[in-house]
Amino acid sequence: MSDDQPTTRRHHRQTLLECWGDDGQSRVGEATALIVGVGALGCGSAELLARAGVGKLVIIDRDIVERTNLQRQTLYAESDLGRPKVSAAVDRLHAIDAGIEVEPIASHLDSDLAAELVPGVDLILDGTDNFETRYLLNDAAVAYTKPFVYGGAVATRGAVMPVLPGRGPCLRCVAAMLPAPGATCDTAGVLGPAVGWVAARQAALTLRLIVEGADRLPIRLESFDAWEGVGRAIDMASARDPACRCCVGRMF
């Protein structure tokens, strides 16, 4: 059987999904996703989106690959030590699928760069490790009406939530329910499988947004402890803060 046969095509197994099909694959192939940060979360989600056939990935990170990254940042190997993360990530993603477009940006994300990038993409994935940048992305997502998939992992726990401007709360609305800004992988450590769970959920939410659209996606704050095997999901559809300066007051 040749590679031209439908059953041997790269994405055949996911097109068999009732929720997906050939039409869904076409939408995936035409989509552009912005991944901010290709550390642990960004590596995992970028690889899954590349394997799913997302047409273009814009990846941004200013850091280089360090030895401590190798425990959980799955796009990198020892041969990448000292390289810019975006350069190593591009090589790995193209080794997975040479047909996708990957735009690397080796830079710190500020408000000017966000204003330049966000209007040209379909959605945004959070691969950052600090709330200052997350809020910047959140505000840009609301300003330009782009879905934003929040994700965070520290110690053995992780959390994800889609921000769907116009439908539910933004990240600032639910700040009190998110991990404390002071808890980081550098101070509390991080379990690789916890990162893997968050990245996989971010990728799944992203693909569902592309295939089905934002109107059909439930707005839930999902959390999971990979060590204990315990998780929960909280319905956040009505959690918008009427005093939110971002999604209500439109102050960016």
Catalytic annotation, residues:
185
- Do 88 and 76 touch, CB atoms closer than 8 A? yes
Q: What is the 3-state secondary structure (H, E, C) of the chain?
A: CCCCCHHHCCCHHHHCCCCCHHHHHHHHHHCEEEEECCCHHHHHHHHHHHHHCCCEEEEECCCECCHHHHHCCCCCCHHHCCCEHHHHHHHHHHHHCCCCEEEEECCCCCHHHHHHHHHHCCEEEECCCCHHHHHHHHHHHHHCCCCEEEEEEEECEEEEEEECCCCCCCCCCCHHHCCCCCCCHHHHCECHHHHHHHHHHHHHHHHHHHHHCHHHCCCEEEEEECCCCEEEEEECCCCCCCCCCCCCCCCC
33: CB partners within 8 A, 6+ apart: 49, 54, 56, 57, 58, 121, 122, 123, 124, 125, 206
- Do 87 and 105 touch, CB atoms closer than 8 A? no
What is the Cα Rg of the chain in Å?
18
